[in-house]
C-alpha cells in the first residue's frame, strides 16, 4: 500500500474476497489518473514490492514479529487523552477514544451512537502497545488519512463502506499498529488532523 501511495496511485479498497482460503489473500483496489507511463511505473513498483516480500518470506508470516503483548495492560489514559484533546474510556488498563461524525440517512441524522465514528483503542503498556480502530472518512479525506497512518507505521486492515444511502458518503478504514503508546496516539491524531484540513479546503 505504501508503494502505491508513494507512486501517486490511490488506494480505494482493501478486503478479503473469500472465506477459508489458505494462505489468506487480501485484495487491494487501486486507481489513478495521469500519464500512462507514470501509472504503469506505479503499478510495476507494487508488483516489484510484492516480489521482494515473497522472496524474503517464502511462507506467509503469521504476525508482524512483535511477540505477545503483556498479559496485563497498563495504558496511561491521561497521556493518551492529552494527545487527542478529549477524554476516553478506561477498562482493565486499556483505553479507547471515540470521535463521532454525522451523516443523514432517510431524512434522519445518524451519528456516533449508530457507529459513524473514528475510534482508537490501546492495549499493552506505554512502551509496548497495540492500537486498533476505525476511521470514518469522506472520500476526499481517504488518501491523506491512509498516507498519514502509513507514515506513522500503522497498518491498514480494511477499507470499505458500512452503510448505503448516507449523505455525505462515508468510507471506513480499519487499522492496526504496534509500538510506543504515545507514538501510536500521535500517528492516529495526525491522521485525524488531516480530516480537519480537508474540511477547510
User: What pLDDT is attached to residue 67?
Assistant: 85
Instruction: Taking residues 41-55, report their average pLDDT.
Output: 96
Q: Secondary structure of 67-106 in the HEC alphabet? A: CCCCCCCCCCHHHHHHHHCCCCEEECCEEEEEEECCEEEC
Instruction: Taking residues 98-123, report their average pLDDT.
Output: 94
Report which DSSP code applies to 195: H
Instruction: Taking residues 65-93, report their average pLDDT.
Output: 94
Cα–Cα–Cα angle for 100, 102, 103, rounded to 5 degrees: 145
Whether 91 shows a pLDDT value over 70: the answer reads yes
User: What pLDDT is attached to residue 193?
Assistant: 96
- CATH 3.30.70 residue ranges of the chain are 77-200
CB count in 10 Å sphere of residue 116: 20
Percent of the chain at pLDDT > 90 equals 88
In words, the CATH class of domain 77-200 is alpha beta
54-68, 120-134, 175-189: range with lowest mean pLDDT: 54-68
User: What pLDDT is attached to residue 199?
Assistant: 62
Amino acid at each position: 500500500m505504501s508503494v502505491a501511495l508513494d507512486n501517486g496511485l490511490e488506494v480505494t479498497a482493501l478486503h478479503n474476497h473469500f472465506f477459508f482460503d489458505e494462505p489468506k489473500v487480501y485484495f487491494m483496489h487501486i486507481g489513478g489518473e495521469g500519464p500512462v507511463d507514470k501509472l504503469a511505473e506505479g503499478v510495476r513498483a507494487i508488483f516489484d514490492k510484492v516480489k521482494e516480500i515473497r522472496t524474503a518470506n517464502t511462507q506467509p508470516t503469521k504476525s508482524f514479529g512483535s511477540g505477545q503483548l503483556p498479559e496485563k495492560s497498563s495504558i496511561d489514559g491521561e497521556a493518551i487523552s492529552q494527545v487527542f484533546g478529549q477524554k476516553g474510556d478506561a477498562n482493565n488498563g486499556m483505553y479507547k477514544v471515540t470521535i463521532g461524525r454525522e451523516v443523514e440517512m432517510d431524512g434522519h441524522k445518524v451519528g456516533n451512537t449508530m457507529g459513524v465514528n473514528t475510534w482508537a483503542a490501546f492495549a499493552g503498556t506505554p512502551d509496548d502497545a497495540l492500537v486498533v480502530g476505525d476511521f470514518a472518512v469522506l472520500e476526499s479525506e481517504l488518501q491523506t488519512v491512509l498516507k498519514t497512518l502509513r507514515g506513522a507505521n500503522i497498518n491498514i486492515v480494511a477499507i470499505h463502506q458500512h452503510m448505503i444511502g448516507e449523505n455525505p458518503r462515508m468510507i471506513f478504514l480499519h487499522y492496526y499498529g504496534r509500538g510506543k503508546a504515545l507514538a501510536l496516539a500521535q500517528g492516529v491524531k495526525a491522521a485525524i488532523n488531516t480530516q480537519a484540513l480537508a474540511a477547510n479546503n
